[in-house]
Structure 1
């Protein structure tokens, strides 16, 4: 297959080439958000005007802080692992293949209380600059 044609360089991105970075938000009591993200489609990378798509990874024992976005909806598609997904005060044991819609303003987070990595596709209804409001 080789390298992609030059015209696709803004449209096609690979997580193995980009790599993951640690989440950087801080909670209401100063606790660090946990997990990793690899942005694949965004305003900056792709010129997207309407969405953002990333791969997310929550390692064993990590907790992605409960938070909400007043200006964007979000979704998760669980690829691997069985995390606890916190949705507006309800805890749900997710499994691979689950698609989870998170409406704008809905508090949500993820806890990986298992011994395996959790891998997710994460999408936002804005290409960038959404607000992250910690709920814990």
Structure 2
């Protein structure tokens, strides 16, 4: 059952409401209906052999995570085959497109924001990556003091972030082995929207823990505590992975990782 409060929500994948749009199906998981003012998170289902080609504004950024199926994706004039766990970044003003293979539906989660006037696009942004890209990571995150912390900390991959040319949106992937936490924290000026991508675990929102399965979504407004954990103590249990990020990006995460916060 989805949980919605004035201070955020956890939305179960099976309770999202889809609508037909341009030959595809779209559900807005996070948006103005939840009080989100900075970020929107849509779930897009592209039928086999079809194309999702949304319109975009000159100040719009998009990040795509392929949740299931296979096909190809375009960002601006660049195109690449994609499958589960592949990711796409469409810089400000550049269109993106998702095409599903002839024999396979494609499902994607899409983060969208309008670039704020004081922020400038990157000079040569990365357009494609994968959730399991380990080139830049945050380890040993101790949270920001809103809840008791665990020393058994998760690892977070940075996929799209200031170091890859993203001025406002970001995409991170946190993966937890049994017993590990991404400790509770807040983003003072950012809205957080992320999904459970793989395995089963729990999501923290404003003092409570909620069971989560793949496709579930968490939304936390600025200043609301949130985090994740893998509560299973069986060392053979599958890992729990989440992906998403605060919008605008929170420089604290990169400072904790010891990497620059400047947009390249």
The residue number in structure 1 matching 2:248 is 126
Deviations 1:69-106 (A, max 9, x none): 11212122111122121110122101111011111111
CA distance in 2, matches of 1:41, 1:12: 9
Deviations 1:17-75 (A, max 9, x none): 54573523335578546111111111111x11111101110111112211111121212
Question: Cα–Cα, structure 1 residues 130 and 94, in superposed 2: closer, same or farther, change >3 Å?
Answer: same
Are the counterparts in 1 of residues 203 and 218 from structure 2 also a CA contact under 8 Å?
Answer: no
CA distance in 1, matches of 2:197, 2:247: 20
Superposed structure 1 runs of 4+ greater than 4 Å apart: 27-31
CA distance in 2, matches of 1:107, 1:33: 19
The residue number in structure 1 matching 2:129 is 13
Unaligned residue ranges in structure 2 (runs of 5+): 1-77, 80-123, 255-264
* 1:105-124 equivalent positions in 2, closer than 5 A: 105-114=223-232, 115-124=237-246
Which of 144, 162, 169 aligns to 1:43? It is: 162
Shift of 1:123: 1.7
Are the counterparts in 1 of residues 205 and 224 from structure 2 also a CA contact under 8 Å?
Answer: yes
CA distance in 2, matches of 1:69, 1:24: 18
Are the counterparts in 2 of residues 20 and 36 from structure 1 also a CA contact under 8 Å?
Answer: no
Unaligned residue ranges in structure 1 (runs of 5+): none
Question: Cα–Cα, structure 1 residues 72 and 33, in superposed 2: closer, same or farther, change >3 Å?
Answer: farther
Which gives a bigger RCO, structure 1 or 2 (Cα 8 Å, sep 6+)? 1
Are the counterparts in 2 of residues 78 and 99 from structure 1 also a CA contact under 8 Å?
Answer: yes
The residue number in structure 2 matching 1:99 is 217
Q: CA RMSD in A?
A: 2.9
Question: Cα–Cα, structure 1 residues 92 and 128, in superposed 2: closer, same or farther, change >3 Å?
Answer: closer
More strand by share: 2
CA distance in 2, matches of 1:30, 1:91: 14
Taking structure 1 as the reference length, what is the TM-score of the superposition?
0.75
Number of equivalenced pairs: 126
Tell me the secondary structure at the aligned position of residue 13 of structure 1.
strand
Taking structure 2 as the reference length, what is the TM-score of the superposition?
0.42
Shift of 1:11: 2.0
27-36 or 111-120, larger mean C-alpha shift:
27-36
